[in-house]
A = this chain, B = another copy of it.
């Protein structure tokens, strides 16, 4: 089936569109300076992100009822604050700290590339982040989404099939009219399994300089691109 049927692009966000790790470390270091805390914030950031998969797993497996990412992030944060011995934050400060995830910086090509892609397609988020988080992040980073779609709307986290199929339904499209763009192969393969098209846009720096990431193009993805400008060019925009 030709790519000419594709009418909308849905994007993974954490790692694919924004540099969550660099953004977290910068904001955490700033907090550390303000509060005089001596913490390895890169470790803290990685542990925070590391808690995300397992906590979503509890929701996906039915051990936790539906819980939005803001609340999962807070659960993980509360544990980390104890573990790292950080006891100087009041409730308001903790709430603000939890919102670092609403203030993530786009990769250098994201805004320009998305703007180009928007000229030819409906561009939407399709993230496990909740709607408020994604909306605030778009405003913070100037991301020009046509539509904010989230696993929250389907109450199924990616890679559950309902998340991809629900997004296509909300866009009024058939699955093959939607292309998922992501830096993570598992996300793309899950989307392909239920009929979406797939664009791989690896982000070698997602986990920092010391972690190796699988950036190898794959022939079964519809497009392999180096960034969003390259994706736009490969889609003829």
Which residues from chain A sit less than 8 Å from chain B, CB to CB?
A: 70, 122, 124, 130-133, 135-136, 138-139, 146-149, 152-153, 170-173
| A118 nearest CB across to chain B (Å) | 8
Contact pick for A171, options B122, B135, B171, B172, CB 8 Å:
B135
Copies of this protein, total: 2
Evaluate whether A170 and B131 lie within 8 angstroms (CB atoms) in the complex, with A139-B146, A147-B148 already known.
yes
Give the CA-CA distance A152 to B171 in the complex, in Å.
12
Verify A135–B153 contact, CB threshold 8 A.
Answer: no
- Find the residue from A70, A148, A171 having the highest chain B CB count within 10 A: A148
Verify A132–B173 contact, CB threshold 8 A.
Answer: yes
Evaluate whether A130 and B70 lie within 8 angstroms (CB atoms) in the complex, with A135-B147, A146-B135, A148-B148 already known.
no
Residue of B nearest to A149 (CB): B131
Give the CA-CA distance A138 to B138 in the complex, in Å.
17
* B-chain residues with CB within 8 Å of residue A132 when the two chains form the complex: 170-173
Give the CA-CA distance A124 to B70 in the complex, in Å.
20
Give the CA-CA distance A188 to B136 in the complex, in Å.
25
| A111 nearest CB across to chain B (Å) | 15
Verify B152–A146 contact, CB threshold 8 A.
Answer: no
* B-chain residues with CB within 8 Å of residue A124 when the two chains form the complex: 135
Give the CA-CA distance A168 to B138 in the complex, in Å.
18
Contact pick for A130, options B122, B130, B172, CB 8 Å:
B172
* B-chain residues with CB within 8 Å of residue A122 when the two chains form the complex: 135-136, 139
